[in-house]
A and B are shown apart, each in its own frame.
Chain A
Amino acid sequence: DTGVSQDPRHKITKRGQNVTFRCDPISEHNRLYWYRQTLGQGPEFLTYFQNEAQLEKSRLLSDRFSAERPKGSFSTLEIQRTEQGDSAMYLCASSSSGRTYEQYFGPGTRLTVT
């Protein structure tokens, strides 16, 4: 078990560009979460997958954001037409249905929009 991994760890992009982040959860975990954390704040929920189905999305997730989890394995989070307000740390977490309260977090992807 290598834990939750995220790629890239850092991304700098210009306003208006599209970016995509990847999350690889712990292999046996069927639940996957995306959170966003800005400086000085706690993480805020963005979206949730159970297996390949996206079952919940936060109001924070504007239509510029889209997430997928094909085949219930890794997940991608895409931000289109990035804005400076999108600058944040994007965190991925996974858990298993049997122990849903124990979410394991990845190291995060830090996005800077210039």
Chain B
Amino acid sequence: GNSVTQMEGPVTLSEEAFLTINCTYTATGYPSLFWYVQYPGEGLQLLLKATKADDKGSNKGFEATYRKETTSFHLEKGSVQVSDSAVYFCALATQGGSEKLVFGKGTKLTVNP
């Protein structure tokens, strides 16, 4: 079945550090890939997405590139801020049917000033 494996946390960084959170997937067909973010006390928000191989999703300084050859969708940011502290979830959805999301376990990021 479809699954997502992401880097386990927690991850603690200093402000302005470089961030990478690894995500790999297993899926039949050609899934769409997502990063969702959950800030403390808030609901899940879509951060970025990519719907086909080699697409790059980007938002708020975060980027991720859909790599079909390595079945990966790693999240990166060049310079994190304290306000980026949150839990990040990698997810996939396959086309057709419900297009339900399959999530990884989440990675908690804490950015210290």
Which A residues fall within an 8 A CB radius of B?
A: 4, 33, 35, 40-45, 48, 55-56, 91, 93, 100-108
**Is A101's CB under 8 angstroms from B97's CB?**
no
Give the complex CA separation of A49 and B44 in angstroms.
Answer: 20
Measured CB to CB, the closest approach of chain B to A78, in angstroms, equals 20
The reply to whether B91 and A42 contact each other, CB–CB distance below 8 Å, is yes
Mark each residue of chain B from 32 to 52: 1 if its CB lies under 8 Å from any CB of chain A, else 0: 101010000011111001010
Return the contact of B45 from the options A35, A41, A42, A105 (Cβ within 8 A).
A105
Chain A nearest CB from B111 CB (Å) reads 20
Chain B residues in the interface with A (C-beta under 8 A):
4, 32, 34, 36, 42-46, 49, 51, 89, 91, 93, 97-106
Collect the chain B residues with CB atoms within 8 Å of residue A104's CB.
46
Known A-B contacts A42-B89, A42-B106, A101-B49; the reply to A106 vs B43 at CB < 8 A is: yes
CA distance A35 to B34 in the complex (A): 16
Residues from chain A with Cβ under 8 Å of B36 in the complex = 105
Q: Which residue of the partner chain B has the closest CB to A97?
A: B99
In the bound complex, do residue B42 and residue A102 qualify as a contact, i.e. CB atoms below 8 Å apart?
no
Q: With a CB–CB cut-off of 8 A, which chain B residues contact A100?
A: 93, 99
Complex CA gap A2/B67 in Å reads 35
List the A side residues contacting B102 at CB < 8 Å: 45
Neighbouring B residues of A55 by C-beta, 8 Å: 97-98
Q: Which of A101, A102, A105 contacts B43 (CB 8 A)?
A: A105
* Best-buried of B43, B46, B93 by chain A (most CB within 10 Å): B43
A56 to B99, CA, bound (A): 10
Identify which of B51, B93, B98, B106 gathers the most chain A CB atoms within 10 Å of its CB. B98
